[in-house]
Amino acid sequence: MALVNVQKLASAMNVTARRVQQLVAEGLPREEKGKYELGKCLLWYIRYLQTALERRAVPTPDGEVSSMTEERLALLRADRELREIELAEKRGMLVSILDVEKTLSDLVLTTKARIMAIAPRLAAELVGESSRNMIQAKIEKEIRAALAHLEKSAE
């Protein structure tokens, strides 16, 4: 059992002599006034620092533990991503999901209406038509016209 004085213990722990005295008040083992068992004190100090680190740690939803620094970095990353999204919106590089849904819905409804209007519009024209090729050509022409609107909207 090697006993050391406060200066040697402070040097081994990389703290000041005053800090050693403060640690004694927190439970650092002391053999006698001004004398400390180096191994026992270093073991106590390691546990003391581990406990201090655990108190600074934050539990994550997945059961792990992360430090406050890691949590701050994650928060900063999330904040940066939000700012990038806001900037992209201001530059017109992003569109909202609601706008896309409304546009697609309008496009589908218009296309459906145009295609459904083909039969009534062609019925009168096709009455009396005997050529299968002519009937097919007229139907294809009307379908292409209905789909042309879809193509223009996609541009």
- Distance CA(92)–CA(97), nearest Å, equals 14
User: How buried is 23 (Cβ within 10 angstroms: 0-12 exposed, 13-18 middle, 19+ buried)?
Assistant: buried
Residue 39 CB partners (closer than 8 Å, separation 6+): 2
Per-residue pLDDT reduced to its tens digit, 43-94: 999 998 888 777 776 555 665 656 777 778 888 999 999 999 889 888 888 8
Average pLDDT on 5-29 reads 92
The stretches of 1-155 forming alpha helices (DSSP H) are 6-13, 17-25, 38-56, 68-90, 97-116, 118-126, 132-154
Specify the pLDDT at position 92: 84
Q: Please check whether residue 2 is in contact with residue 37, taking contact to mean a CB–CB distance below 8 angstroms.
A: yes
What is the domain class of 3-58 according to CATH? mainly alpha
Domains of the chain, by residue range, sit at 3-58, 60-94, 97-154
